[in-house]
């Protein structure tokens, strides 16, 4: 499932955290493992209005039957399935001796169990088949089998039906073993009003029209988890393409928007070709369908062979569409083919799909910067890494499992560290082994670590005592991330580590290793074009790198940690950047600036050091480095002004610089009637670029123009982006007004998301929450062992 990041992270509907003060109705009780499903046969008849059949009391409902063939692994006398909000009409069971019966069945609403009590004990090794008939109504909460609304080209309302089962909502449509570890095959038969289109994970085999209803039988799926089952019934059309080896790909949309699917269609073809070649494993079914729906909780959902997208993330030509398409296709291997065993390992799914999105982008655009993408994931993760760790599970108010946004960005950032530790070629060889050895199975994290260690130690003759599994536990079992302090001494540079990033008060118990980490230290020595790797182990008090030369730590931004230097080091780094700027990559320079930005308000870096580094990079060859250097200068100017030090020498230096950040934003003034979409496409390559420019400029006229655009019809389909840009402008009062102004017609989901961003905006404005305190130098700060935090 796609939770969108940085430039499009506002589209997410996934929670960042769970408020531990809220009352949770816990419903996700694990099933007994005495019995496992092998095959499902599922029949669903959907009574969808808007077609020729005469709507009656069955309207907006469905009837179903399922037969489940099972294998018994432990002695038992009860069959326990997941089921919730369904009417169970009948249930039967048979075995090879035809002497098994269901004495009674019980529906346990509190744990969402359907319990079938048998007339005798069944022994391991026996095979059973259960037949259940059931019914239910199409839901309206975007879970299970639910209603999604659209409009016909004539303007008439149109109702479609679609599923969303991740994480634990398959049980809302069909009684089943609704946990990832219970993989089985599914054969689906759909009956729906004639004139509608019925889709599921696999290609259709046979359709029979019988008056007002049509029945279609589809091929059996490969072995998969229940949350990947998908169904769509409704009025859609498609465009089609094929991959190099002939795999059929279709993108379905409502008739009004079918001409807007070309970008998604072309990107999907290139991405599938690229992933099949990279992984050495073909997509295992005969088709991949994408479907556009207007009512959908997530950005998209990776159902195997039937990928569901929110409409604005598959219709049109925005670059975000390509990112989401690639993410969901990466899931077809990482998540679908190889699936985590338990929900607290979801980062394996989402982390890999996010990580692979970067290389997937290169299949479409050979100039795509994977480094910039990965840095954006690091920054997204650091913003949110104050709640649960990667290896954890959280629950919604109704007790269902929720997918945490940290799984995506931090998961991807952690996987990138693994890649750079073992080497890129070794990493992809290990990934091919990991996929091929675990196809159609469930995995734990150790399966991944073993695959990496096997290739790494074989191909490099690596004799290190490092255990990837032990290294990983520091990063997956603890929340937050380390800050590395680098201090110049006569002998070299001494590194220490500490957790400086804030953690929410209810989430401070995830300190399995005392908030110490095994840190891979990539560093670059002044005058050298390459970097070195040394290890700073969690049980070391400090690490000394012996060199008289200047070094830059976390070179290439490979590591998920930030670095703070002493004043002497910042001075020497600034000189080095001015004298040899081309020796250092965009990633190295950008990481240096991002660490300055994130720690500027904590008083661990003297304003003069901020100015030195930003000044050295303000005219850098890379535009993104220039932008962040300008941001640092403006931040420092703001800090000094708040101190009322008008004669400050650094302030005089800053005011001596000329910036051009307002030039781009002034462009629309020449044509104030220009629509937002046209203005955006003319001036900016991405939402992120627009956001960064707004952050630098803080231009009131642009903010007002965005409000005007939000009040026009032009905001249709882009309102979520424009709301995000208001947050970038950091005009808190204006944002608060927008969030709570009913005239903007925010959906409940959009309003909830906006409130979360408003909270973030409040946190990041330190001057509104505490008196600004000054330390003359970094050394004085460190020597006093003072911790200043940005408080909510």
Q: Which residues are annotated as a binding site?
A: 327, 331, 350
CA distances from 502 to 480, 779, 788 (A): 8, 21, 10
Q: For residues 328 and 164, what is the distance between their CA atoms, to the nearest angstrom?
A: 14
The residue among 349, 340, 337, 261 whose CA lies nearest residue 298 is 349
514: left (phi over 0), alpha (psi -120 to 50) or beta: left
Q: For residues 187 and 39, what is the distance between their CA atoms, to the nearest angstrom?
A: 8
CB count within 10 Å of CB 196 equals 20
Residue with tokens 């080091």: 569
Alpha helices in 365-401 (DSSP H): 370-384
583: left (phi over 0), alpha (psi -120 to 50) or beta: alpha
DSSP at 222: P
Q: Would you state the structure tokens that stand for residue 712, as one six-digit string? A: 């026009």
Please, what is the Cα angle at 314 between 179 and 379, to 5 degrees?
Answer: 70
Q: For residues 209 and 386, what is the distance between their CA atoms, to the nearest angstrom?
A: 55
Is 328 tagged catalytic?
yes
Q: Would you state the structure tokens that stand for residue 462, as one six-digit string? A: 């690596």
Q: Would you state the structure tokens that stand for residue 529, as one six-digit string? A: 């074009």
Q: Residue 528, Cα to own-chain centre: how many angstroms?
A: 36
Orientation angle between helical segments 700-710 and 732-740, nearest 10 degrees: 10
Tell me the binding residues for Zn(2+): 327, 331, 350
Would you give the end-to-end CA distance of the chain in angstroms? 30
The residue among 478, 477, 483 whose CA lies nearest residue 501 is 483
Choose, from 328, 500, 576, 627, the residue flagged as catalytic: 328
Q: Would you state the structure tokens that stand for residue 268, as one six-digit string? A: 């999907």
Q: For residues 241 and 288, what is the distance between their CA atoms, to the nearest angstrom?
A: 10
Asked if residues 531 and 562 have their Cβ atoms less than 8 Å apart, the reply is no
Q: Number of C-alpha atoms within 13 angstroms, CB side, residue 15?
A: 13
CB count within 10 Å of CB 504 equals 15
Q: For residues 308 and 259, what is the distance between their CA atoms, to the nearest angstrom?
A: 18
> Please, is 579 exposed, middle or buried when counting C-beta atoms within 10 Å of its C-beta (0-12, 13-18, 19+)?
exposed
Catalytic site residues? 328
């Amino acid at each position: 499932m796609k939770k969108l990041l940085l430039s499009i992270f506002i589209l997410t509907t996934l929670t960042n955290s769970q408020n531990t003060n809220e009352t949770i109705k816990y419903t996700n009780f694990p099933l007994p493992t005495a019995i496992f499903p092998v095959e499902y046969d599922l029949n669903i008849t959907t009574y969808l209005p808007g077609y020729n059949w005469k709507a009656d009391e069955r309207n907006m409902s469905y009837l179903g039957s399922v037969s489940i063939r099972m294998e018994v692994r432990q002695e038992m006398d009860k069959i326990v399935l997941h089921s919730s909000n369904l009417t169970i009409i009948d249930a039967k069971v048979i075995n090879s001796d035809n002497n098994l019966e269901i004495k009674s069945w019980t529906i346990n609403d509190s744990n969402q169990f359907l319990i079938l009590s048998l007339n005798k004990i069944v022994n391991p090794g026996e095979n059973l088949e259960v037949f259940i008939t059931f019914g239910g109504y199409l839901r309206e909460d975007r879970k299970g089998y639910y209603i999604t609304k659209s409009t016909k080209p004539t303007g008439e309302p149109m109702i479609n039906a679609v599923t969303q089962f991740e994480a634990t909502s398959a049980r809302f449509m069909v009684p089943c073993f609704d946990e990832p570890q219970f993989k089985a095959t599914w054969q689906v038969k759909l009956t729906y009003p004639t004139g509608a289109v019925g889709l599921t994970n696999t290609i259709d085999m046979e359709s029979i029209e019988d008056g007002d209803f049509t029945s279609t039988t589809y091929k059996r799926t490969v072995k998969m988890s229940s949350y990947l089952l998908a169904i769509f019934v409704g009025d859609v059309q498609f465009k089609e393409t094929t991959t190099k080896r002939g795999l059929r790909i279709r993108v379905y949309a409502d008739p009004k928007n079918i001409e807007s699917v070309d970008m998604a269609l072309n990107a999907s073809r290139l991405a599938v070709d690229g992933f099949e070649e990279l992984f050495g494993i073909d997509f295992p079914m005969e088709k991949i369908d994408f479907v556009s729906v207007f009512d959908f909780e997530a950005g998209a959902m990776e159902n195997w062979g039937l990928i569901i997208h929110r409409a604005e993330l598959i219709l049109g030509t925005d670059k975000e569409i390509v990112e989401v398409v690639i993410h969901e296709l990466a899931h077809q291997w990482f998540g679908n083919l190889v699936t985590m065993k338990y929900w607290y390992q979801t980062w394996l799914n989402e982390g890999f799909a996010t990580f692979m999105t970067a290389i997937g982008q290169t299949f479409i655009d050979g100039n795509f910067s994977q480094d910039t993408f990965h840095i954006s994931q690091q920054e997204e993760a650091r913003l949110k890494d104050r709640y649960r760790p990667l290896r954890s599970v959280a629950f919604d108010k109704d007790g269902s499992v929720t997918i945490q946004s940290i799984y995506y960005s931090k998961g991807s950032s952690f996987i990138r560290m693994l890649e750079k530790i073992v080497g890129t070629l070794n990493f992809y060889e290990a990934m091919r082994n990991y996929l091929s050895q675990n196809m159609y199975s469930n995995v734990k994290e150790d399966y991944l670590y073993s695959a990496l260690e096997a290739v790494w130690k074989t191909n490099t003759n690596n004799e290190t005592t490092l255990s990837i599994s032990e290294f990983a536990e520091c990063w997956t079992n603890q929340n937050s991330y380390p800050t590395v302090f680098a201090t110049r001494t006569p002998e070299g540079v001494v590194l220490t580590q500490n957790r400086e990033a804030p953690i929410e008060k209810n989430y401070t118990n995830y300190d399995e290793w005392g908030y110490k980490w095994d840190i891979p230290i990539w560093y670059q020595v002044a005058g050298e074009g390459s970097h070195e790797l040394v290890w700073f182990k969690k049980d070391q008090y400090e690490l000394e790198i012996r060199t008289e030369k200047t070094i830059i730590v976390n070179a290439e931004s490979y590591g998920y940690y930030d670095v703070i230097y002493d004043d002497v080091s910042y001075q020497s780094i600034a000189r080095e950047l001015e004298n040899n700027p081309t020796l250092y990559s965009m990633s190295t320079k950008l990481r240096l600036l991002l660490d300055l930005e994130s720690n500027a308000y904590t008083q661990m870096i003297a304003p003069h050091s901020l100015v030195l580094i930003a000044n050295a990079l303000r005219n850098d060859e890379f535009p993104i480095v220039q932008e962040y250097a300008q941001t640092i200068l403006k931040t420092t100017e703001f800090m000094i002004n708040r101190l009322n030090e008008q004669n400050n020498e650094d302030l005089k230096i800053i005011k001596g610089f000329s910036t051009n950040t307002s030039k781009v934003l002034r462009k629309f003034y020449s044509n104030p009637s220009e629509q937002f979409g046209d203005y955006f496409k003319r001036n900016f390559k991405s939402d992120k670029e627009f956001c960064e420019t707004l952050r630098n400029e803080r231009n009131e006229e642009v903010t007002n123009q965005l409000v005007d655009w939000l009040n026009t019809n032009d905001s249709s389909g882009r309102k979520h982006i424009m709301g995000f840009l208001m947050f970038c402008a950091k005009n808190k009062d204006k944002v608060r007004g927008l969030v709570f102004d009913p005239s903007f017609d925010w959906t409940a989901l959009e309003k909830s998301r906006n409130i979360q961003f408003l909270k973030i905006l409040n946190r990041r404005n330190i001057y509104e929450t505490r008196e600004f305190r000054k330390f003359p130098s970094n050394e004085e700060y460190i020597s006093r062992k003072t911790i200043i935090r940005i408080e909510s």
